[in-house]
Each structure stands twice: as structure tokens, then as C-alpha cells.
């Protein structure tokens, strides 16, 4: 980010800037069926960018560590970032092998629920050299950084985890997203060793743990990983499961309801919650207050 604050940002978002193409549909198409959407919208997206935008809304500068590739989508991303006054992660722009930025096709139903098809790009090709090129003073200023499952499940995920391992003062916020069941056991072991704060939704945590209820799933995950777990639950608000100092004691459950709304689209809402929560955390907010801020920013994202 160029000039959001005179101070070096204490937070960073590692991941993707993509081109989101959202289609408003009455329902999801059946196999082999063709449908006509009621509306189409194109915008910049990606977990990292959405989180940065959310953090800005609560007055917290967040560094974007997302690469810019070469291609049609990359050109759209470049123009959008320039307009928003946000700097991407520096990579070798002249490298012939640089792929394009990714894209995401989002089918949005009348209740705001989204179904996504993600086209991968350079964001899944992170390299150690990209992190090594960061200014040491900028890295030293970081207290926390976000990382997503889309990037961590790939070969580039090794470089991302290596960055956290090389700088243990940076708290990791792990947002596995829909790829929650696709990150390898080896990567999960490294995430556990880092003491990452997990951030995921109710469907994702139930799929990962096999528990039928997000509260039960949150307790189980906090017990297994000995780390805080943040779960978004739509109209039910959000939860934090905070492990006790005593490993045998159950985690403390923090539940913060949210204001009921009629969502236009839930595209990017989870990312917005993540960014706002991390921003509040970095400013020393209590769990209840951080969740309340994140709920508000996520609700605003659903109305955009």
C-alpha cells in the first residue's frame, strides 16, 4: 500500500488479486443445462485484496503481498490496483514464464449465496525470492499476516509457510476457504507449529472436522491445534474458540451475533470478515470487540 499511513503496516495479506465475474442466477444450472443470468458484474477480488479493503475500512493499513502476472487478467488487476492506490508484491515482471493472474466465476443465487469456479494463476506460484526482496524494516514491523488455502495447497505454499517460519514474530492468520480439505497433512503440521489463528466458515469447519455442528467443530479444532479458531456462521454471527492455558480444559467460546440483513451477494464477505478481524486484533481489541467489528464489515460487503 503506498500512503495509507506514515507508519509501516503491522499487517500483511499474502495471496491473490483476481478478476471476479459474478452472475446473478435464479438457481444453479443442472448438468448440461444452459441458463441466462439476470445480471453480470466484473470486479477485482481475491482473498488478499478483499482483506486489505476491509482493513482499510476500520482505519488499519495492511500490506498487500499478492503478485501481478502477465496477461489479460493481469492488465485488469494492474489498472484496478493503480486506481485504488495499492502496490502489489514485487515479482520479476520481465519473466517470460510468469502466468496470468487468476479469475473467479461466481454464480450468485437470490439469497446471496455464491458458488465459485476458480481459474488459478500466478497467485499459486509463490517463490521464496519474492519474500526475500521485501525490505527488512517492513518485515520487522509486521505483527500478523493472512494466508489462504488456495495458495497454501500448491507448490508455492512452501514459500509462504517458509516466510512465517523464518519470521516467528509474525502471527499467521490461516483462512483455508473452500480448499480446507485439500491442504496436505505436512502443510497442516507446519501450520500447527506456527500457532496460526484459523478463520473459516461453518460449512468449511464441519467439512474439515466431520462434526455436524460448528460449535462442536470449533471446540474440536481448537483442542487439536491448540490455537484460536474463528468461525463465521452467516445470520448467526461469528464465534471464536480460544484455548485455555490448561491443555486439558475446554476452549472458551465467544459468540457475537450479527445484525440481520437481506444479502445482495456473499461474494467476498468471508474475506472482509477476515481482514476486519485481523485489523481489530492488531489494534489490541478483545475477542468480542474484534468479532463485532468483523461482523459489521462483512455485513456491509453482503450489501455491496
Instruction: Provide CB contacts within 8 A for 142, sequence distance 6+.
Output: 9, 10, 11, 12, 63, 167, 169, 170
Full residue range of the structural domain in which residue 206 is found: 47-70+122-302
- Does any domain span residue 26? no
- Does any domain span residue 140? yes
In the predicted structure, residue 95 carries a pLDDT above the cut 90: no
Q: Which whole number is the average pLDDT over 16-25? A: 95
In the predicted structure, residue 180 carries a pLDDT above the cut 60: yes
Q: What are residue 174's DSSP bridge partners?
A: 147, 198
- Does any domain span residue 108? no
Give the pLDDT band of residue 93 (cuts 50, 70, 90).
low
Q: Which whole number is the average pLDDT over 237-258? A: 94
In the predicted structure, residue 96 carries a pLDDT above the cut 60: no
- Does any domain span residue 220? yes
Are residues 125 and 101 in contact, defined by beta-carbon separation less than 8 angstroms?
Answer: no
Our count of domains for the chain comes to 1
Q: Which whole number is the average pLDDT over 18-22? A: 95
| pLDDT attached to residue 38 | 95
Instruction: Provide CB contacts within 8 A for 78, sequence distance 6+.
Output: 68, 88
Give the pLDDT band of residue 20 (cuts 50, 70, 90).
very high
In order of 35, 64, 77, 170, 268, the CA distances from 47 in angstroms are 28, 11, 14, 19, 7
Give the pLDDT band of residue 283 (cuts 50, 70, 90).
very high
Q: Which tens digit of pLDDT belongs to each residue from 108-157?
A: 999 988 899 999 999 999 999 999 999 999 999 999 999 999 999 999 99
For the domain that residue 270 is a member of, what is the CATH number?
Answer: 3.40.1190.20
Q: Which whole number is the average pLDDT over 218-232? A: 97
**Percentage of the residues of the chain whose pLDDT score is greater than 90:** 87
| pLDDT attached to residue 91 | 85
- Does any domain span residue 78? no
Least confident piece of the model among 3-12, 143-152, 199-208: 3-12
φ, ψ of residue 283 to 5 degrees: the values are -95, 10
| Residue 287, Ramachandran bin (φ over 0: left; ψ between -120 and 50: alpha; else beta) | alpha
**Under DSSP, is residue 150 helix (H, G, I), strand (E, B) or coil?**
helix
- Does any domain span residue 129? yes
Q: Which whole number is the average pLDDT over 245-252? A: 89
- Does any domain span residue 261? yes
Rounded distance between C-alpha atoms, residue 98 and residue 104, angstroms: 19
Q: Which tens digit of pLDDT belongs to each residue from 34-76?
A: 999 999 999 999 999 999 999 999 999 999 999 999 999 999 9
- Does any domain span residue 110? no
Amino acid at each position: 500500500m503506498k500512503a495509507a499511513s506514515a507508519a509501516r503496516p503491522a499487517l500483511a495479506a499474502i495471496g491473490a488479486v483476481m478478476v471476479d465475474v459474478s452472475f446473478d442466477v435464479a438457481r444453479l444450472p443442472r448438468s448440461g443445462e444452459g441458463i441466462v443470468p439476470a445480471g453480470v458484474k466484473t470486479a477485482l477480488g481475491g482473498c488478499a485484496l478483499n482483506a486489505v479493503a476491509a482493513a482499510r475500512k476500520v482505519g488499519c493499513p495492511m500490506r498487500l503481498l499478492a503478485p501481478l502476472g502477465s496477461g489479460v487478467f493481469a492488465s485488469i488487476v494492474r489498472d484496478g490496483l493503480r486506481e485504488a492506490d495499492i502496490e502489489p508484491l514485487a515479482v520479476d515482471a520481465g519473466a517470460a514464464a510468469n502466468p496470468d493472474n487468476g479469475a473467479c466465476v461466481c454464480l450468485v443465487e437470490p439469497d446471496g449465496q455464491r458458488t465459485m469456479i476458480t481459474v488459478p494463476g500466478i497467485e499459486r506460484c509463490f517463490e521464496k525470492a519474492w519474500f526475500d526482496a521485501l525490505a527488512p524494516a517492513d518485515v520487522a514491523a509486521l505483527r500478523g499476516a493472512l494466508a489462504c488455502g488456495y495458495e497454501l495447497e500448491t507448490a508455492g505454499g512452501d514459500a509462504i509457510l517458509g516466510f512465517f517460519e523464518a519470521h516467528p514474530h509474525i502471527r499467521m492468520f490461516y483462512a483455508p476457504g473452500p480448499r480446507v480439505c485439500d491442504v496436505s497433512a505436512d502443510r497442516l503440521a507446519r501450520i500447527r507449529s506456527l500457532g496460526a489463528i484459523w478463520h473459516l466458515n461453518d460449512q468449511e469447519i464441519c467439512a474439515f472436522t466431520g462434526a455436524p455442528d460448528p460449535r462442536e467443530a470449533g471446540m474440536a479444532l481448537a483442542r487439536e491445534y491448540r490455537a484460536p479458531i474463528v468461525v463465521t456462521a452467516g445470520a448467526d454471527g461469528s464465534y471464536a474458540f480460544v484455548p485455555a492455558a490448561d491443555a486439558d480444559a475446554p476452549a472458551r467460546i465467544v459468540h457475537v451475533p450479527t445484525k440481520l440483513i437481506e444479502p445482495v451477494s456473499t461474494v467476498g464477505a468471508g474475506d472482509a470478515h477476515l481482514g476486519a478481524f485481523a485489523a481489530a486484533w492488531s489494534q489490541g481489541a478483545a475477542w468480542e470487540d474484534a468479532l463485532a467489528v468483523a461482523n459489521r464489515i462483512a455485513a456491509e460487503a453482503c450489501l455491496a
